Amino acid sequence: MSTFKNNVSETAGKISRNPVHRLDLDVLRRLQVDATGIYDRVSKIAKTRNPKKERQEIWLKHAVSMIDLTTLEGSDTSHRVRRLCQKALRPLADFPEIQVAAVCVYGNFVSEAKRALEGSAVKVAAVSTAFPHGQVALPLKIQETKALVASGADEIDMVINRGAFLRGDYSRVYDEIAMVREACGEAHLKVILETGELGEIQHVWTASEIAMQAGADFIKTSTGKIGVSATLPVSLVMLNAIEDFYLRTGYRIGHKPAGGIRQAKEALHWLALVKETVGDHWLVPELFRFGASSLLDDIARQIHHIKTGQYESYDYIPKG
């Protein structure tokens, strides 16, 4: 089971990093999505790609290694963040070799998290650009990002300018991402599309493509702060966009569904979705993450059930 340890550092640096590309509006215009087809495909995968028993246990453990364990509440405190970090270091009590990929926090807890995770390979991700709404002037977004990187954030989760996107100002969306990317320096950039606010599924691809052209390392579905968060159909469109971008450029972009993923079964569907689309190579924490908090505990319960045949209670699982 040692393969789970230090997953991140093992292959770090082996994926060539996506640069900022020139904005190509022609590509945007060529992309076509049919919503019904997307829904049908998702339902087919969910019905016919289900690992069982021991296979499922292994899948779930890998799912844990791809979690960005998240707390993004106004009520967060240093203590709360430290407790989350402890959970990140040992997400499954019975399997000490497994750690999550990262913790994801608000900016003012980056140093706290860094300290708590010191010496481990677990990354610290911080939300930036006036998360979750992004409604501040661009210089402030740049400034915020720079400060977060300076305080030690390994990864930056930014939000796109949905207002600009919806009024069709794609170059504005692109510019903001590209500039934040520059501000990130070595820190990896996850671009949150907030797909629940984009109106239609075709827009998900358009926004994905803009983000990738602007140098995103990851494209992420949601902030988790609005009614509609990550869904399999939206992820499917984003994964298709990633494959299409990869076929054109050769760069592998990561994907992070976030918000609303609470059940082990859902995590399995997502892994299958990745496997069936972009393929096995994406099934690593460098290229796939779950943004989640309570998912972890349901996975713990499910693994318990696989191993013992008994159903588990949350009372037996240390709170994160």
Give 157 or 209: the residue with its C-beta nearer to another protein. Answer: 209
CA distances from 79 to 82, 158, 316 (A): 5, 25, 22
- How many other CB atoms are there within 10 angstroms of residue 19's CB atom? 9
Q: Tell whether residue 75 is a contact of another protein (CB under 8 A).
A: no
The amino acid that residue 184 corresponds to is C
- Does the active-site annotation cover 256? yes
Task: Please give the structure tokens belonging to residue 174.
Answer: 């692109």
Task: Please give the structure tokens belonging to residue 224.
Answer: 């988790």
Give 110 or 264: the residue with its C-beta nearer to another protein. Answer: 264
DSSP-derived pairing of the beta strands 218-220 and 188-192 = parallel
- Does the active-site annotation cover 34? no
Residue 247 Cβ vs another protein, minimum distance, rounded to whole Å: 6
Catalytic residue among 61, 87, 190, 256: 256
Q: Tell whether residue 59 is a contact of another protein (CB under 8 A).
A: yes
**Residues 231, 26, 243, 256: what is their CA dihedral angle, to the nearest 10 degrees?**
-40
Q: Which of 11, 77, 135, 171 binds another protein (CB under 8 A)?
A: 11
**Residues 268, 271, 275, 279: what is their CA dihedral angle, to the nearest 10 degrees?**
-170
Q: Tell whether residue 265 is a contact of another protein (CB under 8 A).
A: no
Q: Which of 9, 12, 37, 140 binds another protein (CB under 8 A)?
A: 37
From 93-101, 128-136, 246-254, 301-309, give the range in contact with another protein by CB under 8 A. 246-254
Is residue 153 a contact partner of residue 145, using CB atoms and an 8 Å limit? no
- Does the active-site annotation cover 220? yes
* CA 277/CA 243 separation, integer angstroms: 8
Catalytic residue among 68, 154, 157, 217: 157
Give 8 or 103: the residue with its C-beta nearer to another protein. Answer: 8
Q: Tell whether residue 185 is a contact of another protein (CB under 8 A).
A: no
Rg (CA), the chain: 19
From 83-91, 119-127, 187-195, 236-244, give the range in contact with another protein by CB under 8 A. 236-244
| Per-position DSSP letters for 7-64, written without gaps between them | HHHHHTT-SPPP-PPPP-HHHHHH----HHHHHHHHHHHHHH----HHHHHHHHHHHH
Give 97 or 244: the residue with its C-beta nearer to another protein. Answer: 244
Q: Which of 19, 22, 47, 186 binds another protein (CB under 8 A)?
A: 47
Residue 160 Cβ vs another protein, minimum distance, rounded to whole Å: 22
Q: Tell whether residue 227 is a contact of another protein (CB under 8 A).
A: no
Give 126 or 284: the residue with its C-beta nearer to another protein. Answer: 284
Q: Tell whether residue 280 is a contact of another protein (CB under 8 A).
A: yes
Give 39 or 95: the residue with its C-beta nearer to another protein. Answer: 39
Ranges assigned E (strand) in the chain: 67-70, 102-105, 123-127, 155-159, 188-192, 218-220, 254-256, 290-292
What is the contact surface with another protein in residues (CB under 8 A)? Answer: 10-11, 14-16, 30, 32-41, 47-55, 58-59, 62, 240, 243-244, 246-247, 250-252, 271-272, 275-276, 279-281, 283-284
Task: Indicate which residues carry an active-site annotation.
Answer: 157, 220, 256
